Chain A
Amino acid sequence: MPDADTPHLSIRGLTASYGSRAVLRDLTVDIPRTGIFGIIGPAGSAKSTFLTCLNRTLELTPGAGRTGQVLLDGEEVRELDVSDVRRRVAMVLPLPVGLPMSIYDNVAFAPRMAGMRNRKELDGLVERCLTQAALWDEVKDRLQELGTRLSGGQQQRLTLARALSTQPEVLCLDEFSIAIDPVTTMRIEAVLVELRQTMTIVMVTNLLAQARRIADRTLFLLNGEPVEEGPTNALFEAARDQRTTDYVNGRFG
């Protein structure tokens, strides 16, 4: 077990580009173990691109590439097995996606692909993940129904349960509340506040209030460049950079 004081994710001089266009430039930041790490910034700030560097899904885009280092517990993620990286660094995307299979199979999918076959173990894992995602009570009597038939808010919690099914150490969320109702948003936020005790959460959000509510530290990205990073309160109340002050006070973006 790595030292609790070393950063969980250590980003060194990260530059990501699509073709010849660099969208994220020279980001160096440490993401501490456990807690919620918020990332804010206007559209086009490469917030999502940053997340795809963490779990190596950037590589799925033809022509995309990066330089610099992304260290997970001190190890460069590019040198680890790609499936392992994606199981350790889970991802929740903006739009809810129920896979076209039963609710149970949605959650059991990733563990099965990782080789878990024992029915009892799977049952326990499915229940635990759905409970963690605050969905269990609504679906426990219809686990065999299609995941795609759930409402949008339920599907986003199903997506969250699926992300938790690999028992990840890092959970990335990319504007998870963009397509769901405020009630579900608040429920998921409560889930995240619970999970941050044991998990490192990287939360990209367009909602300044959301970062302010639950992020422990916040990074402000602007046009692909890191502007400022620090404890959320300090960033919102006493930013060092004028651009941060302007953004968090709604003067642009």
Chain B
Amino acid sequence: MVGAVHALCRSAMSLSASMPVEPTTPELPVEPLTARRRNERIVAALLLMATLTAALPAVGVIGLLVVKGAPALSFTFLFTMPISGMTAGGIWPAIVGTIWLVGVSLAFAVPVGVLAGVYLSEYAGDGWLARIVDLAIVNLAGVPSIVHALFGLGAFVLFLKFGTSILAAGLTLGVMTLPVIITSTKAALQSVPHVFRVACWNLGATRWQTIRHVVLPNALPGILTGIILQVSRAAGETAPILFTGAAFYLPILPDSVWSQTMALSMHVFALVTQVPNVPDEMKYGTALVLVGIVLAFNSASIALRVYLRRHRRW
């Protein structure tokens, strides 16, 4: 029908071809088919190359560590003390120390971060205070880790007189991970649709009851994902524990949060740059253990996200 009208118009136009006013549609330039196909292939190849370039370092790092470090892995290496000035023996105190540090940082950052996230998402509204706090958190997330280290030295080691200890180092790591825990908590809470809250309020539930029974349970996987990613970050960072609690060589296990401790990240740094005559496979082996722990946590986070996607409740 429409086509017929068009045809009519066109024939009318060709009839009036001699008339001065003649609106014509400009012809679309036609690219030859072969050229178009060639361009498609070039673009696809470029994109693939960029992607491979991005993936290459990750594969390279892990491959290198596995090839060079795997021979070092043994029960003795993992579960005994270092001996002979760290050039032999195991890395057990560094593994234990890393667990202590991560534990202390989580004990501080999870409650504070999650509660702050709940406040910012559910209570703060959109006032000037909330905006300033938001801005502060974003900026805190951008502070380099060495600056966190200096802050930890000043605040925890010296001012609060914790000394160089697991407590001071753990708190420093906690402060460093706090902004991301707050931000991911807030994002997870806000991904729970607002209509659920309204429905609960209309049923006479208080704000806290609504959060406790409807919002938090449904935001939990998202909150946990954020926390786990920060676990791997806390385990891997070296700078924040450098002046605050990590020991260079301390072949005993820590007995309280007031002890100093060895840590895996610090141990890699020490073996590679500070101690002569360390066999290469020990260096690689230690780095492999560190990366293994970090990857294990990241995988847990990914698994959680997959679970979350499969068990959506709305």
Contacts from A to B (Cβ < 8 Å): 55, 57, 60, 62, 82-87, 90-91, 93, 95, 97-101, 109-110, 113-114, 146, 148, 159, 162-163, 165-166
Contacts and interface: CB of A to CB of B under 8 A. Distances in A.
Contacts of B203: 86-87, 90, 109-110, 113, 162-163, 165-166
B204 A166 contact: yes
Given A100-B214, A100-B218, A148-B313, A57 B201 contact: yes
Q: Which 6 A-B pairs have the closest CB atoms?
A: A100-B313, A86-B204, A110-B203, A87-B204, A83-B204, A148-B314
6 contacts: A55-B202, A83-B204, A97-B198, A99-B200, A100-B313, A109-B213
Interface string B110-133: 000000000000000110000000
Nearest to B209: A113
B205 interface: yes
B220 to A, nearest CB: 12
Given A62-B125, A109-B213, A113-B213, A84 B313 contact: no
Contacts of A166: 203-204
B196 interface: yes
A162 B126 CA distance: 31
A97 B203 CA distance: 12
B206 interface: yes
B199 interface: yes
Contact of B204 (A62, A84, A97, A101): A84
B19 interface: no
A166 B205 CA distance: 11
Given A95-B195, A99-B199, A113 B205 contact: yes
A162 B202 CA distance: 10
B195 to A, nearest CB: 5
Given A100-B313, A100-B314, A57 B202 contact: yes
Given A57-B198, A97-B196, 4 more contacts: A62-B125, A101-B313, A110-B203, A110-B205
Contacts of B195: 95, 97
A83 B203 CA distance: 8
A87 B204 CA distance: 5
Interface string B255-274: 00000000000000000000
B215 to A, nearest CB: 10
Given A87-B204, A100-B313, A93 B198 contact: yes
A57 B201 CA distance: 8
Contacts of B201: 57, 60, 86
B222 to A, nearest CB: 14
Given A109-B213, A146-B313, A93 B202 contact: yes
A99 B204 contact: no
A87 B202 CA distance: 8
A97 B201 CA distance: 13
A146 B311 CA distance: 11
B204 A113 contact: yes
Contacts of A93: 198-199, 202
A109 B204 contact: no
A101 B203 CA distance: 15
A98 B291 CA distance: 44
Nearest to B207: A60
Contacts of A85: 204
A180 B126 CA distance: 34
A114 B204 contact: yes
Contacts of A60: 198, 201
Contacts of A114: 204
Interface string B217-251: 01000000000000000000000000000000000
A187 B50 CA distance: 60
Contacts of B314: 98, 100, 146, 148
Contacts of B206: 83, 113
B57 to A, nearest CB: 41
A99 B214 contact: yes
